[in-house]
Structure 1
Amino acid sequence: MNIKNLLLATLSFLAFSCSNDENGNSNSTPEEALYFPPIGSDDWATKTPESLGWNTNNIQQLYDYLELKNSKSFIVLHNGKIVLEKYFGTHTATTPWYWASAGKTLTSTVTGIAEQEELININNKVSTYIGTGWTSETIAKENLITCKHLLTMTSGLDDAYNNSTDETINDCVSPGCLVYKADAGTRWAYDNVYVKLQDVVAQASGQSWSNYFNTKLRDKIGMTGTWLQQYSNSIFWSNTRSMARFGLLALANGKWDGTTIINSNYFNTTTHTSQNINLAYGYLWWINGESSYHMPQTQVTFNGSLIPNAPADMFCALGKNDQKIYVVPSKKLVIIRMGDAADSSNFAMSGFDNELWGKINLVIN
C-alpha cells in the first residue's frame, strides 16, 4: 500500500472510530425530523418538557404570569410537536380570536405565493395592479410606490391616520387618508396601507382575497379561520392551533411536510432585514438580534436588539394587544400567545415581549 492509500485508510478508520462504539454501533443520535400535524384532524403529536430537559418547576410560574397578563391561550412547539398548551378563563382550543397585526405576515406570505405563480412582481408599482388614484398623491409620486414598499413599510405615505384615537378612521386606507409624506423608500412608518397588497393579489388572481388565501395557504396547511372586516381593515380570526400551524410553516421556511407552500428563498428574505431604516423589520415580520430598531408609531431609532431576552435569531409576528407568534430556528421553537393587552393597549411591540421571554427562559434554559 502506498503512502497516499495508507493515509486515506487511516483517516477512514479514525472517522469510523469517532462515530461508532466498540461494537460498530453509531454514537450519534439521529436528528428528529420536523413534525407536521395531519390536515383535517385535531390530532397533534406531543412531547414532554422533561424529555427536553426543561425546568418543569417553573412552568406553573409561567402560566401564572400569562394569566395575570390577560392571556387567553399559549402554545409552545418544539420541532413541530406540542410541549406546552394552556387555555385561560373560558377560552378553549376551539375558540377563535383575532390575530390583529400578527396577520400582516399572512399577507406577506400570500403575496409571495402570488409572485411565485407569476401573477405579480413585488418590484412593480402598486398602480400596475390596482390602477392609479389609490392615494391622494400626484401620479408621479404614487408611481414610486412598489409592492415591495408596502411589504417593508416604506411607502412614504403619512401614517397620521394610524395614530388617531378614533378607531373608525385609525385603519383608513381610502385615497383621502393616503397622503404624501416622503418619497417611497426614504421613510419607515408602521401603517395599515399594507392591506392594499390584498387588493393587488385579488386583482392579479381574478379571485377574492379570502378565496385565494384559503386555497393557496390556509387549507394547504390545515388551518381554520376567516377574514372579518373591521372598519377599513380585514382582520384574520382563528383558533390558537391554527396560528401555531402557520408558525410551524415559518419554522420550516415555507414548506409543509415536504411540500413547498411558499418559495424558501422568498420566505427567507421576508424574515431578514428588508431596508436600512428599521433593521428589525422584514416583509411584515419583526426581526430580533439586530443592532437597532423602530417601535410602531415612532420615527425614533433605538439601539440594541428588539427583544433582548429572546434568542438573537428569532423572528416574530406581533399584533395589537399582544398577539404573538415567535419563531426560533436555533431552538426549533414556535411560541404562540393570544389574548387581551398584557398591560395597556398597544400597536404591536410592548414591554410584555421582553418580560414574557424572561419567564420562558426560566423554563427552557
Structure 2
Amino acid sequence: MKKIYLLVFASLFMLNCSSDSDNSAEQMYFPPTDSSNTWETKSITDLSWNQSAVQPLLDYLEQKNTKSFIILVNGRIVMENYFNGHTATSPWYWASAGKTLTSTVTGIAQDEGLLNINNKVSDYLGTGWTSAPLAKENLITCKNLLSMNSGLNDALGDNVEPANLQYVADAGTRWAYHNVYVKLQDVVAEASGQTWTNYFNTKLRDRIGMTGGAWINSGDGLSVYWSTCRNMARFGLLSLNKGKWNGTTIVNENYFVQATTTSQPINQAYGYLWWLNGKSSYHLPTSQFEFNGTLMSNAPSDMYAALGKNDQKIYVIPSKKMVVIRMGDVANPDNPTFALSGFDNELWDKINDLYQ
C-alpha cells in the first residue's frame, strides 16, 4: 500500500511539473537568418496552457493601444498578434528598449579588443566631450555610461552635445537615467574605425537575421532603432541565450551575465542598460527616490527587461525559457512614462493566467 501511495504522489508531482520540465528539456530553436522569414511555432495546447486566458489577454492588449505582441518559449512562437492596423512587416520604434542594443554591441567591441569598458570615455572621444571640469570628466568610464551613474545632469533634456552634459556629482556616486549612454555609440565608432551603423549591422543585426531594421535620427544627437516585432523577438532570443545564437557566440557570455546583473550599488534593479526584476529596491527615471520592493511584482523574479518610452517591452525570463515582446503606443495615455509603467504589472497579471 505504501508503494502505491508513493507512485500516486510521484505521478501527481510529475503531472504538475510536466509543462515546465518539457520546456526545459526541449531543444532551443533559432529561426533561420536568411530571408525566408520561417519560424517554428508551438501551440497553447502543446504547452498545456490555459486556452481560456488567451482572449482576455488579446482584448487587454488591443484596449491598451498595442500594435504587436509575441511570446516565445524555447525560441518557438506561441503567440503572435497584431492590432490597430499593424502587421508582421510594419516597423516600429524601440525607444529606450534599444539601449540594450548599445549595451550588447559595446560588449562585442570589448570582445574584439577594441575597447575596455573600465577605461574612461575620453580615452576614445578625447577631452571636452562634456562641459564638466576636466578632472571630473576624466572620472567617467564607459562602464559608468552603461550603468547610468556618470554623474552628469539628467534634468537638461535629451541633447547630448557637450554644453548640455554638465557635472552634478562624481561618476559612480549618483544613479540617474540619462541619454548620455548614447556616447557609447561614438566610442564604438572611434574604436572600430567604422560608423556605428555599419559596426552594429555587421556584428549584431545581420548575424541574427534582424534584417531591415535601422537607426533613425531623432535629433539632439540621438538615433532610435526601428524594426519589426519579429526582429525585436530575435534580439530577445539572443538575450535569453546569454549572447549565443544557435551555437555561435555573438557577445561573450560573461559580459552578458554582467550586463544583466546589478551594475552599481545605488539602483539594484539596473544592469548595463537592462532593467532587472526581483531586487529588493529600485530607482526610476527623473527621480532620486529609492522604492522598496521588486520592479514588477507580478512578473517572474529572474526576469530582465528592455523598457522603452510608450511601453515598448522586451521581457526575458530564463526560468521559463520565455521571451515576451510588446510594441505600440502608450498603454495609459494619461500617465506616460519613460520605462516602467503600471502597464507592466497589469500585463503580467494577464500573462500569468496563461500558465498558472
TM-score (norm 2): 0.92
Q: Which position in structure 1 is the counterpart of 2:305?
A: 316
Tell me the equivalent position of 1:280. Answer: 269
CA distance in 2, matches of 1:301, 1:103: 25
**Following the alignment from structure 1 to structure 2, what is the Cα–Cα distance between the partners of residues 310 and 291?**
14
Structure 1 Cα separation of the partners of residues 201 and 277 of structure 2: 29
- In 1, the alpha carbon distance for the partners of 2:186 and 2:81 equals 36
One-letter amino acid of the structure 2 residue matched with residue 311 of structure 1: P
Alpha-carbon RMSD across the aligned residues, in angstroms, is: 1.2
Give, in angstroms, the shift of residue 346 of structure 1.
1.4
Q: Any unmatched runs of 5+ in structure 2?
A: 1-9, 11-20
Q: TM-score, normalised by structure 1?
A: 0.89
Counterpart of 2:17 in structure 1 is none
- Determine if contact 2:65/2:84 at 8 Å carries over to the other structure: no
Structure 1 SS opposite 2:25: coil
**Which residue does the alignment assign to 1:7?**
none
Cα shift readout 1:335-364 (whole Å, capped 9, x = no counterpart): 000000000321111110011000110112
**1:227 corresponds to which residue?**
215
Amino acid at match of 1:351: G
Q: Secondary structure at the match of 1:52?
A: coil
Query: Once the two structures are aligned, what percentage of the paired residues are identical?
Result: 67
Query: Following the alignment from structure 1 to structure 2, what is the Cα–Cα distance between the partners of residues 316 and 292?
Result: 16
Select the residue among 200, 203, 208 that pairs with 2:195.
208
Structure 1 outlier segments of 4+, above 6 Å: none
Secondary structure of the corresponding residue to residue 316 of structure 1: strand
Name the SS for the 1:60 alignment partner. helix
Query: How many residues were matched structurally?
Result: 331
**Of 59, 71, 78, which residue of structure 2 is paired with 1:76?**
71
1:316 Cα deviation (Å)?
0.3
What is the aligned partner in structure 1 of residue 32 from structure 2? Answer: 38
Indicate whether 1:218 and 2:212 are aligned.
Answer: no
The one-letter code of the counterpart of 1:98 is Y
Structure 1 residue aligned with 2:4: none
1:88 aligns with 2:83: yes
Q: Which residue of 1 aligns with 2:353?
A: 362
User: Counterparts of 2:128 and 2:188 in 1: how far apart (Å)?
Assistant: 18
* Cα distance in 2 for residues equivalent to 1:68 and 1:89: 10
Q: Aligned to 1:176, which of 150, 159, 163?
A: 163
* Rounded Cα–Cα distance in structure 1 between residues aligned with 2:166 and 2:84: 43
Deviation at 1:89, TM superposition (A): 1.6
One of 154, 158, 178 as aligned partner of 1:159: 154
What does 1:326-341 correspond to in 2, within 5 Å?
Answer: 326-341=315-330
User: Which residue identity does 1:270 align to in structure 2?
Assistant: A
The equivalent of 1:115 in structure 2 is 110
Letter of the aligned partner of 1:242 in structure 2? N
Superposition deviation, residue 83 in structure 1? 0.2
SS of 1:183's partner is coil
